[in-house]
Amino acid sequence: MKNIGIGLLFSILWSSASVATKFGVQSAPPLILANVRFFIAGILLLSFSYLFAKDKAYRLPRKTEWKQLALFGFLNTTFYLGLYVYAMKYTAAGIGSLAVSTNPLIIVLLSSWWLKRKPRAEEWTGIVLGMAGVAVATYPLLADSYTTLGGVILLLISMVAVSAASVYYATVRWELPNLLINGWQVFLGGAFLLPVTLLVSDFSTTRLDTMFWGSVLWLSLAVSIAGLICWFYLLRLDTVKASLWLFLCPLFGFFFAWWLMGEPVTIYTVLGTVLVVAGLYAGQRTKFAGRA
Contact (Cβ atoms closer than 8 angstroms) between residue 257 and residue 92:
yes
pLDDT of 290 above 60: no
Predicted TM-score (pTM) of this structure: 0.84
**pLDDT, tens digit, 9 for 90 and up, residues 63-103:** 999 999 999 999 999 999 999 999 998 988 888 888 877 77
Give pLDDT, residue 286. Answer: 57
Judged by average pLDDT, the poorest of 19-23, 53-57, 268-272 is: 53-57
Residue 50 backbone dihedrals phi, psi, to 5 degrees: -85, -25
Looking at per-residue pLDDT, the higher value among 292 and 203 belongs to 203
State the chain's mean pLDDT as an integer: 86
Give pLDDT, residue 292. Answer: 47
Give pLDDT, residue 145. Answer: 64
Residue 195 pLDDT class (50, 70, 90 cuts): very high
Give pLDDT, residue 130. Answer: 80
In terms of phi and psi (left: phi > 0; alpha: psi -120 to 50; beta: otherwise), the region of 262 is left
How far is the C-alpha of 121 from the C-alpha of 278, rounded, in Å? 14
Helix 17-24 vs helix 30-52: crossing angle, to nearest 10: 120
Judged by average pLDDT, the poorest of 10-19, 154-163, 196-205, 275-284 is: 275-284
